[in-house]
Amino acid sequence: MSINVTKAYLPPLEEYIGYLEGIWERGWLTNNGPLVQQLEAELSTALSGANVQFMSNGTIALQVAIKALALTGEIITTPFSYVATTTAILWEGCEPVFVDVEEQTFCIDATKIEAAITPRTSAILATHVYGYPCDVRAIEAIARRHKLKVIYDGAHAFGATVHGRSLLAYGDITTCSFHATKLFHTSEGGAIITTDEKLAQKVSLYKSFGHIGDEYYSLGVNGKNSEFHAAMGLCNLPRVPEFIDARRQIAELYRAELAPLPLRYPVMPAATEYNYAYFPVIFDTEARMHHVKQALAAHGINTRRYFFPSLNKLPYHTGADCPVSEDIAVRVLCLPFYQQLEHDQVRRIGALIRENYA
Ligand SMILES: *Cc1c(COP(=O)(O)O)cnc(C)c1O
């Protein structure tokens, strides 16, 4: 039996059907229906009252965030993330300026941001990669000093806290992805999170074509999401603490299984409660990473090169050198990691890695 790098959690079917019955009764499928409103309210409560807008996906959330903040020119960003972080900037007609990442967290190196600021810089867009927090305090201070906006791509950050506050509650806007592969999912989906009410109103308009009834206010796009997706979210949301706990146990087991090997892991900064979003391991060489990846694949075990390539090396947009990010990107491998993964499967994967570490 093959093991994928991730596996979407599906709630008990009868629970989902309960929500479907309500949808059938009301005949209300989309356009800010009651389940979307309920999910937004529950997410808002979980995020200390921040405004949460349920979006069609995490990529549109990033694009609408850039539009809502009216960003232009250069946006300082991380080269170590999923490709959508960079393409959202390019799609909105802005220029990504890559600043290298930290050796410890693989998040943008805040100490290198100021050197990259020019008169054309409008914002910083950084990713809490694997759910490890960016240096939010340092970034906030830089943004204030230079009058820049801050967007966090929080696609990996759901359920993590730093300095006692949800990691999704920092910056002018945090975007999130609720894609089927993420820790908390709505099959497809995402969110824009902000504490700025004016900005929230703008986002609300932008995500539904820029009009309310017959009044047309601004340009907009279709960034809404449906009752069916909200229903999946309402089933999954109360289970997030369980998911995190199961993942923590799996991560600890992996670490014990792999302890004899000279592998490297990102280092968690202080004052963080981790969400165990991913399980990345760094090999000492790219060749060894490939060797282990192929050996696992021969046993039906899929791993992913998250994140490769370093985004400053994309074929359609090349940025300045980022030696730390480039070095990690060629050696990193994300192992199968999801809450339903059985401990015996983890032991088997651990044994295969030990046997094939050559
Ligand atoms: C998954 C992901 C996205 C894109 O989210 P979608 O919901 O798939 O559009 C953006 N950024 C990061 C870091 C991601 O991991």
Note the pLDDT tens digit of each residue in 293-303. 999 999 999 99
Instruction: Answer yes or no: is 2 within a domain.
Output: no
Q: Is the pLDDT of residue 358 over 90?
A: no
In terms of domains, do 195 and 285 share one? no
Which pLDDT does position 48 carry in this prediction? Answer: 84
Note the pLDDT tens digit of each residue in 302-337.
999 999 999 999 999 989 999 999 999 999 999 999
In terms of domains, do 174 and 294 share one? no
For residue 24, the CA-to-ligand 1 centroid distance in Å is: 31
Q: What is the CATH number of the domain that holds 307?
A: 3.90.1150.10
Percent of the chain scoring above 90 in pLDDT: 98
Which two structure tokens, joined as six digits, stand for 272? 């963080």
* Residue where a domain terminates, one of 214, 238, 262: 238
Instruction: Answer yes or no: is 100 within a domain.
Output: yes
Location of structure tokens 């050198």: 321
In terms of domains, do 278 and 172 share one? no
In terms of domains, do 221 and 253 share one? no
Q: What is the overall mean pLDDT for the chain?
A: 97
In terms of domains, do 226 and 327 share one? no
Which pLDDT does position 175 carry in this prediction? Answer: 98
In terms of domains, do 296 and 247 share one? yes
In terms of domains, do 145 and 262 share one? no
In terms of domains, do 178 and 270 share one? no
Note the pLDDT tens digit of each residue in 6-50.
999 999 999 999 999 999 999 999 999 999 999 999 999 999 889
Which pLDDT does position 325 carry in this prediction? Answer: 98
Cα–Cα distance for residue pair 245/233, rounded to 1 Å: 19
Which pLDDT does position 1 carry in this prediction? Answer: 73
Q: Of all atoms in ligand 1, which is nearest to the CA of residue 62?
A: 10
Check pocket membership of 82 for ligand 1, CB cut-off 6 A.
yes
In terms of domains, do 123 and 138 share one? yes
* Residue where a domain terminates, one of 193, 221, 238: 238
Model-level pTM?
0.97
Spell out the alpha helix ranges (H) of the chain: 13-26, 34-46, 58-68, 83-91, 136-146, 197-206, 227-236, 240-258, 286-298, 323-331, 343-355
Q: What is the CATH number of the domain that holds 208?
A: 3.40.640.10
Check pocket membership of 85 for ligand 1, CB cut-off 6 A.
yes
Full domain range(s) for residue 340: 239-356
Instruction: Answer yes or no: is 90 within a domain.
Output: yes
Name the domain count of the chain: 2
Check pocket membership of 127 for ligand 1, CB cut-off 6 A.
yes
Instruction: Answer yes or no: is 218 within a domain.
Output: yes
What's the first-to-final CA gap in the chain, in angstroms? 25
* Residue where a domain terminates, one of 189, 213, 238: 238
Percent of the chain scoring above 70 in pLDDT: 100
Which pLDDT does position 244 carry in this prediction? Answer: 98
Note the pLDDT tens digit of each residue in 164-220.
999 999 999 999 999 999 999 999 999 999 999 999 999 999 999 999 999 999 999
φ and ψ at residue 49, rounded to 5 degrees: 90, 5
In terms of domains, do 167 and 37 share one? yes
Q: Of all atoms in ligand 1, which is nearest to the CA of residue 190?
A: 7
Q: Of all atoms in ligand 1, which is nearest to the CA of residue 177?
A: 7
Instruction: Answer yes or no: is 107 within a domain.
Output: yes
Bridge partners for 98 per DSSP: 77
Instruction: Answer yes or no: is 5 within a domain.
Output: no
In terms of domains, do 190 and 60 share one? yes
* Ligand 1 pocket mutation pick from 134, 153, 221, 304 by most atoms within 8 angstroms of CB: 153
Instruction: Answer yes or no: is 7 within a domain.
Output: no
In terms of domains, do 145 and 73 share one? yes
Cα–Cα distance for residue pair 90/74, rounded to 1 Å: 10
DSSP-based three-state secondary structure for 332: strand
Instruction: Answer yes or no: is 221 within a domain.
Output: yes
